């Protein structure tokens, strides 16, 4: 029998897709992003529509509302996954507030405020409440790596204590880089895994390695090279400028060449057309500068005349224009792509990357179609957990639970 899971803060469904590819069964999701909810519905048609809930997780009654809509009860869910935003560690911080209270510089009732009690972490608090009510066998939570080092690790310690208070005896965390698991992008994130059992967590071993300076292959035939930007997007149709489909939410184009590597074949499957291959309009002078940039280069490496042509300050703009490399993985794809794509300039064409190209860099297969405006599609992709990384985690989680 397949392990069943619920994905909280789960749209557009990167983590869900990875767990499904590993053989687990999705039972539902909860998120407030409406375009992402539509994307999730369209790509997980086997989930009842009422189980894909658009709701504000900060509300006190959100778990009850989710239960009422989905009819899911304790025992129906084996695993809860998700990545609740945790803002409380990123500004003043729990430890700093506690020290101010202790010194009398700030009013407060507690000198040892708990992470879960920080009002900015209401979404994380809801995540814990779901665990307490549904009581799954295991939990997987994803977040940014800054959480690990913040305040000498006190936030991580508190999260583990919160999981243990919710009934999970065994809690571990680990920083994983998506590029080491077949994703054509360097993306480091921290994952927490918690189980009811005392046995150790089984974490995925690296499957992909970089070529060294001598061009040698990975350490064993069982491993593969890192997937490069060219591997990821090199087969997608050429996009002429100016883009003629600016007002369309989806642009369907026929592939113009056969796949040239294993990753491209996997992404395409048996499709003949590709969706979401749309990009932005660009100013003429920006296009001229794009053409002069070398793959892998950035703003500071432009000629003085090119920088002057665009007109931005070097002091504040050094790293904001970046052209993707050809024979290396991409840098991290973020949700800021929805507002500004100039950190993701196409390596061989005079434009920023398309929605589908961003999805390929995140390891979404081409049959996974994104809904909403172009900006909403970019935002969904930038916020997602790469499916291939999630799949590797899920496969080893199954071993952890069965062992």
Q: Would the pLDDT of 373 be above 80?
A: yes
Distance CA 277, CA 330 (A): 18
Q: What is residue 149's predicted lDDT score, i.e. its pLDDT?
A: 86
Residue intervals of the chain classified under CATH 3.40.50.150 are 4-208+386-402
For the stretch 275-333, pLDDT in tens is 999 988 888 999 999 999 999 999 888 888 888 888 776 666 667 899 999 999 999 99
Mean pLDDT (whole number) for 382-387? 97
Structure tokens at 99: 């020290």
Per-residue pLDDT band at 370 (split at 50, 70, 90): very high
For the stretch 183-201, pLDDT in tens is 999 999 999 999 998 778 9
Per-residue pLDDT band at 110 (split at 50, 70, 90): very low
How would you class 334 by CB atoms within 10 Å of its CB: exposed for 0-12, middle for 13-18, buried for 19 or more?
middle
Q: What is residue 91's predicted lDDT score, i.e. its pLDDT?
A: 42
Marked catalytic residue, from 86, 98, 141, 345: 86
Per-residue pLDDT band at 147 (split at 50, 70, 90): confident
Can you give the pTM of this predicted structure?
Answer: 0.90
Distance CA 29, CA 208 (A): 30
Contact present, 188 and 142 (Cβ < 8 Å): no
Options 3.40.50.150, 1.10.357.140, 2.60.40.10, 1.20.120.530; which CATH number does 4-208+386-402 get? 3.40.50.150
Average predicted confidence (pLDDT) for the chain? 88
Distance CA 218, CA 86 (A): 37
Q: Would the pLDDT of 42 be above 50?
A: yes
- Mean pLDDT lowest for which of 61-65, 166-170, 248-252, 308-312? 248-252
Q: Would the pLDDT of 216 be above 70?
A: no
Per-residue pLDDT band at 99 (split at 50, 70, 90): low
Question: Which candidate, 83, 183, 140, places its Cα nearest to that of 386?
Answer: 183
Per the annotation, the verdict on 54 as an active-site residue is no
Question: Which candidate, 291, 362, 376, places its Cα nearest to that of 38?
Answer: 376
Q: What is residue 309's predicted lDDT score, i.e. its pLDDT?
A: 86
Structure tokens at 70: 């989905």
Percent of the chain with pLDDT over 90: 68
Q: Would the pLDDT of 122 be above 60?
A: yes
Does the CA dihedral 225-226-228-231 come out positive or negative?
Answer: positive
C-alpha to C-alpha distances, 41 to 54, 73, 91, 258, nearest whole angstrom? 11, 21, 35, 30
H helix or E strand, kind and range, residue 79: strand 79-82
Options 3.40.1790.10, 3.90.120.10, 3.30.465.10, 3.40.50.150; which CATH number does 229-383 get? 3.90.120.10
Residue intervals of the chain classified under CATH 3.90.120.10 are 229-383
């Amino acid at each position: 029998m397949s392990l069943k899971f619920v994905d909280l803060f789960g749209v557009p469904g990167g983590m869900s897709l990875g767990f499904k590819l590993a053989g687990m069964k999705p039972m539902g999701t909860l998120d407030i992003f409406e375009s992402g909810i539509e994307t999730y519905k369209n790509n997980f048609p086997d989930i009842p529509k009422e189980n894909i809930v658009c709701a504000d997780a900060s509300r006190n009654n959100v778990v009850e509302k989710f239960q009422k809509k989905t009819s899911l009860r304790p025992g129906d869910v084996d695993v809860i996954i998700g990545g609740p935003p945790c803002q409380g560690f990123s500004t003043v911080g729990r430890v700093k507030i506690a020290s101010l209270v202790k010194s009398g510089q700030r009013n407060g009732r507690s000198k040892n405020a708990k992470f879960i009690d920080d009002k900015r972490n209401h979404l994380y608090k809801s995540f814990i409440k779901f665990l307490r009510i549904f009581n799954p066998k295991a939990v997987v939570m994803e977040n940014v790596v800054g959480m690990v080092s913040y305040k000498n690790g006190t936030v991580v310690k508190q999260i583990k204590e919160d999981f243990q208070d919710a009934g999970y005896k065994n809690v571990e965390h680990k920083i994983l880089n998506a590029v080491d698991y077949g994703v054509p992008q360097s993306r480091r994130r921290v994952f927490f895994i918690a189980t009811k059992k005392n046995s150790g967590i089984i974490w995925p071993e690296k499957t992909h390695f970089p070529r060294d300076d001598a061009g040698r292959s990975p350490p064993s035939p069982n491993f593969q090279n890192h997937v490069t930007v060219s591997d990821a997007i090199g087969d997608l149709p050429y996009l002429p400028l100016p883009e003629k489909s600016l007002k369309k939410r989806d642009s369907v184009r026929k592939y113009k060449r056969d796949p040239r590597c294993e990753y491209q074949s996997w992404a395409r499957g048996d499709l003949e057309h590709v969706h979401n291959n749309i990009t932005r309009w660009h100013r003429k002078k920006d296009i001229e500068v794009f053409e002069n940039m070398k793959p892998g280069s950035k703003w500071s490496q432009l000629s003085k005349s090119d920088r002057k042509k665009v007109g931005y300050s070097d002091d504040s703009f050094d790293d904001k224009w970046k052209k993707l490399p050809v024979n290396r993985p991409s840098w991290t794809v973020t949700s800021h792509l929805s507002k500004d794509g100039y950190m993701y300039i196409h390596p061989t064409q005079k434009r920023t990357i398309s929605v589908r190209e961003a999805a390929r860099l995140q390891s979404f297969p081409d049959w996974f179609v994104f809904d909403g405006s172009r900006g909403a599609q970019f935002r969904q992709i930038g916020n997602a957990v790469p499916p291939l990384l999630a799949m590797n985690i899920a496969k080893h989680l199954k071993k952890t639970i069965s062992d």
